[in-house]
């Protein structure tokens, strides 16, 4: 493993490549990355990359977003099958019919969707800026929010706005068991529950903090509490624990019993260190987006970046 990590680091230098990784990647992958972050941070970082190659250790929509934001770079993804249940829940042709049926609505889409869906969007958002973006619009503005209904409901609750929601969800965040979470909290009444807004409403209502992956890490760093139950994909625990080595972090339990007693994203975990190495060596698989889609999708992503300043 150590040898493979060293080979990746050397190859990265040789090829003038940078590795951008999401917090849900396995620990070894995070360790060889140049930048590890949430969806917003990764998009912002992608615009700043000066190297020739961006090796994206994340899922397909993230690599696509990086390509749209920095099209002159070669963007490669270790496994093209690393998708996302949210992105899959929103096929562009059906989404077009949906937006056509609501012509007087502004379309806000969560970044977890395909480039084609972004091309049908007015403003993109992530979990760290969704509330701010909705609040930036006039109060009487009609809004479509897609594809995550759980994040959509959370934003509605936070802003007091009514929005038309697309019926999509994240299989990883819907896998948390409310009963097991309550039982765990009973065992650890001194813990604070923190949750990602892709989780279901009843989970979010029990949480003392709700936010993006980067927001959750910041919260455990700043909060004086010493114990946290963490309701998001378990990969986050690697960086989080590095930030707060003396605090106790307990992953929220999934409905199904599994070896990690947590919830893991099978798509994120398709990337392995070996696939990272092969991808860098072969400079493949490469992410390419048709020019017209790229141009249309860039507009709502840039609006998001502007509103996030």
- Per-residue interface string for the shown chain with ligand SF4, residues 194-223, x marking contact by CB under 6 A: ----x-------------------------
- Does 212 interact with ligand 13P (rule: CB under 6 A)? yes
Determine which residue in the list 65, 70, 85, 89 makes contact with ligand SF4, applying CB under 6 A: 85
| Nearest residue to 71 (alpha-carbon basis) of 300, 307, 286 | 286
Q: What is the rounded distance in angstroms from the CA atom of residue 196 to the CA atom of residue 209?
A: 9
Q: How far is the CB of 3 from ligand SF4 (least distance, A)?
A: 29
Task: Considering only CA atoms, give the Rg of the chain.
Answer: 19
Determine which residue in the list 65, 70, 112, 159 makes contact with ligand SF4, applying CB under 6 A: 112
CB 134 within 8 A of CB 161: yes
Per DSSP bridges, beta strands 123-125 and 74-76 are: unpaired
- Report CA-CA distances (Å) from 290 to 42, 73, 125: 22, 15, 22
Q: Using CB under 6 A, which of the segments 82-90, 125-133, 200-208, 276-284 binds ligand SF4? A: 82-90
Q: Look at residue 171 and give the partner it binds from ligand SF4, ligand 13P, none, a contact being a CB closer than 5 to 8 Å depending on partner kind.
A: ligand SF4
- Does 43 interact with ligand 13P (rule: CB under 6 A)? no
Q: What is the rounded distance in angstroms from the CA atom of residue 147 to the CA atom of residue 139?
A: 22
Would you say 251 or 277 has its CB closer to ligand 13P? 251
Q: How far is the CB of 171 from ligand SF4 (least distance, A)?
A: 6
| Nearest residue to 307 (alpha-carbon basis) of 61, 123, 148 | 123
Positions in the binding site for ligand SF4 (CB under 6 A): 59, 84-86, 112, 170-172, 198, 233, 265, 267-268
């Amino acid at each position: 493993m150590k040898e493979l990590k060293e080979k990746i680091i050397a190859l990265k230098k040789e090829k003038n490549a940078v590795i951008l990784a999401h917090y849900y990647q396995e620990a070894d992958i995070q360790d060889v990355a140049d930048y590890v972050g949430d969806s917003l941070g990764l998009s912002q970082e992608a615009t700043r990359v000066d190297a020739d190659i961006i090796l994206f250790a994340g899922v397909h929509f993230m690599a696509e977003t990086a390509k749209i934001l920095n099209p002159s770079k070669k963007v490669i993804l270790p496994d093209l099958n690393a998708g996302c249940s949210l992105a899959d829940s929103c096929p562009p042709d059906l989404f077009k019919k949906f937006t056509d049926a609501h012509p007087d609505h502004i379309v806000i889409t969560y970044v977890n969707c395909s480039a084609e869906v972004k091309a049908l969007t007015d403003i993109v958002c992530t979990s760290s800026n969704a509330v701010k973006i909705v609040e930036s619009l006039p109060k009487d503005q009609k809004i479509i929010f897609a594809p995550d209904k759980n994040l959509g409901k959370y934003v509605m609750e936070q802003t007091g706005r009514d929005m038309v929601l697309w019926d999509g969800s994240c299989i990883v965040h819907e896998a948390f068991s409310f009963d097991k979470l309550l039982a765990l909290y009973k065992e650890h009444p001194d813990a604070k529950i923190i949750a990602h807004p892709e989780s279901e409403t009843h989970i979010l209502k029990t949480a003392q903090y709700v936010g993006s992956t980067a927001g959750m890490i910041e919260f455990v760093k700043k909060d004086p509490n010493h114990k946290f139950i963490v309701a998001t994909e378990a990969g986050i625990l690697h960086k989080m624990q590095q930030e707060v080595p003396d605090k106790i972090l307990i992953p929220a339990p999934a409905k199904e019993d599994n070896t990690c007693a947590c919830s893991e994203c099978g798509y994120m975990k398709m990337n392995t260190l070996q696939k990272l190495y092969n991808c860098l060596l072969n400079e493949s698989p490469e992410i390419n987006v048709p020019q017209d889609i790229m141009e249309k999708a860039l507009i709502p992503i840039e609006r998001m970046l502007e509103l996030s300043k």
